[in-house]
A and B are shown apart, each in its own frame.
Chain A
Amino acid sequence: MYDPTVARLTYRALLGRRRALILGALPLLLIVLSVAVRGLTGADDQTAADVLGGFAIATMVPIIGVIAGTGAIGPEIDDGSVVYLLSKPLKRPTIIFTKLIVAIAVTMVFSAVPTLIAGLILNGNGQQIAVAYTVAALVSSIAYSALFLLLGTVSRHAVVFGLVYALVWEALFGSLVPGARTLSVQQWSLAVAHKIAGGDLVTSEVGLTTATVLLVAVTVLATWYAGQKLRTLKLAGEE
């Protein structure tokens, strides 16, 4: 199910050249931000939860997920070079699975690690906040990668649709319509974080069981469907 050559190519496509810069810029900003906040306010659990929840989980993880998830397959389909990959004797689900693993790894490294560092800077893991949000980042990395990898195989405008989901659906609708929060990767991962932190600092709209079931279901379904989609992929010209 895992092909090292495909993985190596995907890593190069994701981290080569300037892509790594933008992937690295966001975590750097988070760490700079948390140093600044620590300087302004000192160690404070509520502030730490606000920064990690509002910036790291709500903005940074989805955007890195979009870049890594769609970037793992989107550009190849876009410029047509995916035919060279598809013409090799590899199962299409294997290709998707390998790319998913790579996307998850990249998203985790660039989102969960900085979240942990930022959490340690902000309040030295008081009340398990840093660990809780790190776990949330890890969990949501998996779901986001699968979701956006699927988007990358379905649409040419995957990045835009991914961002619309991450920013408009989760951030805007989530704050206006309570029902939208039930269908949000962010809330599912926060449910897991809530279980770890225990207190009232990390809250979620959904229960742990629902969240876990939905997380697993979305990841598996998205990966399966992306594999199916790649089997019947049509290469179209530009627009």
Chain B
Amino acid sequence: MAVEQPLTSPAGDQTRIHDIGYRGYDGPRLGRAYARRSLYSQSLRGAYGLGRSAKSKVLPMLLFAVMCVPAAIMVAVAVATKAHELPVAYTRYAIMMQAVISLYVAAQAPQSVSRDLRFKTVPLYFSRPIETADYVRAKFASLASAIFILTAAPLLVMYVGALLSKLGFAHQTKQFAEGLVSVALLSLLFAGIGLVIAAVTPRRGFGIAAVIAVMIISYGAVSTLQAIADVQNHSGVIPWIGLFSPVTLIDGVQSAFLGATARNPGAVDPSTAQGVVYVLVVLALIAGSYGLLVRRYKKVGL
């Protein structure tokens, strides 16, 4: 049983803690916002392998190149044939390349959060002046920005190419803006889904497989069902089926409100009411994944 010691030692007692010369820190305290910004920029750099080993740059850069090269080819074709319109609409591009985007999310979402869990570095983050919500926001924002860079860069290539070949400034700008809104939504949605799945498991490989399963399998299942509904002349249900996979969700939103043509079999555009449902589902998913992440990190590693 330890006896409580009085704080002031009695007179004549020579025991004391030696001052061995450690100095206190009296420089500027950069605070919570700075820590959050640093975490954001480091995670964003990490999502493209910058500041990491050469091996981890290979995959993100490769996928980035795979995203941009077809856009460049399309611009070249449009210029060479003196077309009045780009061969593929801005809004359609991301849907066309959905497999590449899904792979990128699957590879980088676990990279962003799983290793912090596995090596138990999360408590170290929280020993800094950041809170759970800051960590989640920084990771969410960085992955969403990374996906936005991946999806917006080819659109920018197409836009610049279109302007250089004088395809009508106002028309192209409007379509480009619509495309940007669509990929921004897509980035938020994909980042949310990817992070929620990746944050559950400390195993990177398992996280990758789970994200891919959700993204690609749901898209495969939804497309199969839509194709069958189209063949069987149940065109009415096609937009409703589209609610069940991330890619078709974005497709539905943009074909209802952003002037795109739906990519589903039979090319059935959702009605305005269905479009509202699509937007609500997308927003609910983004908010829900943020909520789930905050809940997940409330109790992690502590």
How far, in angstroms, from A58 to B206 measured CA to CA in the complex? 21
Q: Does A206 contact B (CB under 8 A)?
A: no
Residues 213-267 (chain B) with a chain A CB within 8 angstroms: 213, 216-217, 220-221, 224-225, 227-229, 231-232, 234
Select from chain A the residue with minimum beta-carbon distance to B208. A159
Which of B21-29, B51-59, B133-141, B166-174 forms contacts with chain A? Answer: B51-59
- Picked from A67, A78, A157, A158, the residue with its CB within 8 Å of the CB of B59 is A157
The DSSP consensus for interface residues of chain B is: helix
Nearest CB in chain A: distance from B234 CB, A: 7
Quick check: A63 and B209 within 8 Å, CB to CB? yes
How far, in angstroms, from A75 to B107 measured CA to CA in the complex? 16
Quick check: A55 and B220 within 8 Å, CB to CB? yes
Quick check: B103 and A41 within 8 Å, CB to CB? no
Quick check: B99 and A167 within 8 Å, CB to CB? yes
Select from chain B the residue with minimum beta-carbon distance to A172. B99
Quick check: A163 and B206 within 8 Å, CB to CB? no
Quick check: B205 and A75 within 8 Å, CB to CB? yes
Nearest CB in chain A: distance from B100 CB, A: 8
Nearest CB in chain A: distance from B225 CB, A: 7
Select from chain B the residue with minimum beta-carbon distance to A171. B99
Q: Does B45 contact A (CB under 8 A)?
A: no
Size class of the contact patch on chain B = 35 or more
Quick check: A29 and B217 within 8 Å, CB to CB? yes
Residues of A in contact, count (CB < 8 Å): 39
- Picked from B52, B59, B209, the residue with its CB within 8 Å of the CB of A66 is B209
Quick check: B217 and A63 within 8 Å, CB to CB? yes
Instruction: Determine the chain B residues whose CB is within 8 A of the CB of A50 once the complex forms.
Output: 224, 227-228
Q: Does B212 contact A (CB under 8 A)?
A: yes
Q: Does B200 contact A (CB under 8 A)?
A: yes
Instruction: Determine the chain B residues whose CB is within 8 A of the CB of A29 once the complex forms.
Output: 217, 221
- Picked from B115, B205, B232, the residue with its CB within 8 Å of the CB of A238 is B115
How far, in angstroms, from A54 to B224 measured CA to CA in the complex? 8
Instruction: Determine the chain B residues whose CB is within 8 A of the CB of A167 once the complex forms.
Output: 99, 103, 212, 216
How far, in angstroms, from A18 to B53 measured CA to CA in the complex? 30
How far, in angstroms, from A44 to B51 measured CA to CA in the complex? 55
Nearest CB in chain B: distance from A38 CB, A: 10
How far, in angstroms, from A204 to B210 measured CA to CA in the complex? 30
Question: Contacts A18-B200, A25-B213, A167-B216 hold; do A40 and B228 have CB atoms under 8 A apart?
Answer: yes
How far, in angstroms, from A167 to B107 measured CA to CA in the complex? 14
Quick check: B206 and A18 within 8 Å, CB to CB? yes
- Picked from B55, B210, B228, the residue with its CB within 8 Å of the CB of A37 is B228
Quick check: B224 and A33 within 8 Å, CB to CB? yes
Q: Does B203 contact A (CB under 8 A)?
A: yes
Question: Contacts A18-B206, A40-B232 hold; do A160 and B213 have CB atoms under 8 A apart?
Answer: no
Select from chain A the residue with minimum beta-carbon distance to B241. A36
Instruction: Determine the chain A residues whose CB is within 8 A of the CB of B203 once the complex forms.
Output: 75, 78
Instruction: Determine the chain B residues whose CB is within 8 A of the CB of A212 once the complex forms.
Output: none
Quick check: B216 and A160 within 8 Å, CB to CB? no
Q: Does B195 contact A (CB under 8 A)?
A: no
Q: Does B201 contact A (CB under 8 A)?
A: yes
Q: Does A168 contact B (CB under 8 A)?
A: yes
Instruction: Determine the chain B residues whose CB is within 8 A of the CB of A159 once the complex forms.
Output: 204-205, 208-209
Quick check: B52 and A160 within 8 Å, CB to CB? no
Residue from B59, B208, B213, B228 whose CB has the most chain A CB atoms within 10 Å: B213
Given A55-B221, A239-B55, 15 new contacts (CB under 8 A): A22-B209, A22-B210, A33-B224, A36-B225, A37-B225, A37-B228, A59-B217, A60-B217, A63-B209, A67-B209, A75-B205, A78-B205, A160-B103, A163-B209, A163-B212
A-B CB proximity, top 9 nearest = A159-B205, A159-B208, A59-B220, A67-B209, A239-B53, A160-B107, A41-B232, A55-B224, A74-B205
19 A-B pairs whose Cβ atoms sit less than 8 Å apart in the complex: A22-B206, A26-B213, A26-B217, A33-B221, A33-B225, A37-B225, A40-B228, A40-B234, A41-B228, A47-B231, A55-B221, A59-B216, A59-B220, A74-B205, A167-B99, A167-B216, A168-B100, A239-B53, A239-B55
